[in-house]
Each structure stands twice: as structure tokens, then as C-alpha cells.
Structure 1
Amino acid sequence: MLYSEVLNCALESLNVSPMRTVQLRAEFKNIVKKYSNIIADGTEVACVRPSDDDHQMKRYSGKKRHTVKVLTLTNHDLKLLYMSPVFGGSVHDDKIMKKCFPPNISWFEGMTLRDDLGFLGAVTDY
């Protein structure tokens, strides 16, 4: 059994497993309805430098290392509510947000979305 499978089983048994995919606004609202403040952050995880040139370009974060990125949404107690699929380190946080939460839908209506400069365009989009 892989470590990720063990981790998923443990998180599910504790009922703290984060949402991994969002298809419907109602489904998302049901998960976050009890939180008025949501924190969005792009999280980089270091990875081994790929040998293929194309993969290197996708994984190079611009910070002198190769990474993969995920978008995380947490509450103020840092409970992990959502974790996106994995993206290459070169993908900007704002692009990941738009891919996971299309701006034409009011995902965060009625709550405060807190983010950093990686989401500079999110103020107008959400």
C-alpha cells in the first residue's frame, strides 16, 4: 500500500479529508457553509528535477527549483477544506484558481476570501 493511500484512509476515518474536486457550486457551498472566512494559498512542493526538457520547463518554479503546485483552501483554524489537483511549478497561483473555480460562477459569495499577491486578479474575478 502506498503512503498516499494510507494517508487518505487515515484522513477519511477522521472525517477530515479535504475536497479534491469541485463540480457544482452547491457541492462546494455545502462543504464551506459554516465558515465565513476562507484562506486561499498556492502551495509548492519540491520534486526531483525531471530529465526531459519539456517536463523541466513545466516544473521549474522560477525560484531556482523544480516544484509541483496545489491550490489549498483552509479556514482560520487551518482545517484543510480543499486541495486541487497537482499542477507544474511554473503555473501561477491565479491560473490554478481560475482552472479549479471558474470566475463566471459566484463560488465565494457571502464569505471573505483571503489570499496573497499570487492571486492579484482574484479580487475582480471573485
Structure 2
Amino acid sequence: MSIALNTSGVNLSSFAGAKCWMSHSDGFRHILRAQELANWIHAPPEIFGHRKMYERKNYPQLNHTNFWKNKGIIFFKDGWGATDHIDIWNGSELKGGETVYFSSDWKELWFWQLT
């Protein structure tokens, strides 16, 4: 996710979280922790807008069809134990191509709709 943001020109210099020790050819070091990146994206709403947050206990049937035709950034909190995932949603699938993340045992789902 951080590589996509960097490639599209988003200034990540204010991100203070964990990054990979190894640099890409342009000197960029990708961000390691999805939660830290999601918190950073959430902090200034004037850049990415306001997130919508869904708790699994309140939305037990929520799945990928609820976001059909909406594009944005999506974050799955605690989907696999303590593991999170952040990705790009193109209106029908995640950049990784899997909708299985929606079926995981996530506790919260955050969504930033982008136009």
C-alpha cells in the first residue's frame, strides 16, 4: 500500500512508523505495519477524507458487495489474530485480487472513499 501511495506522489515524509530496512531504487523504504499506515491516513482528513468505520459486532453480514462501485482505501483490523491488512479497493476487488479478507474475522473495517 505504501508503495502505491509513494508512486502516486503522496508525501509520506511525516510518517513516523516502522519501515523496511531495505530501500527501493528511489530510496523509498516501504511501510511495514498496516495499523500504523491506517492511523497516518486517518490523521489528516483533508488529504484522504473521513473514514467510515464498521465494527464486525455491529455489521456481521458486511462483505465486499457493500462497497460495490465505491473506490478507496480499505483497512481490516485484527483480521487474523493480531494481523491487519490495508489495500486499494477498485470498486469490485482488492488490488491483491482477493475478497477473502472480507470473510476473515476482522474486528473493524475502515474505508476511505476516493473519487
Short-chain TM bin: under 0.3
Q: Give the structure with the higher percent helix.
A: 1
- Which has more radius of gyration? 1
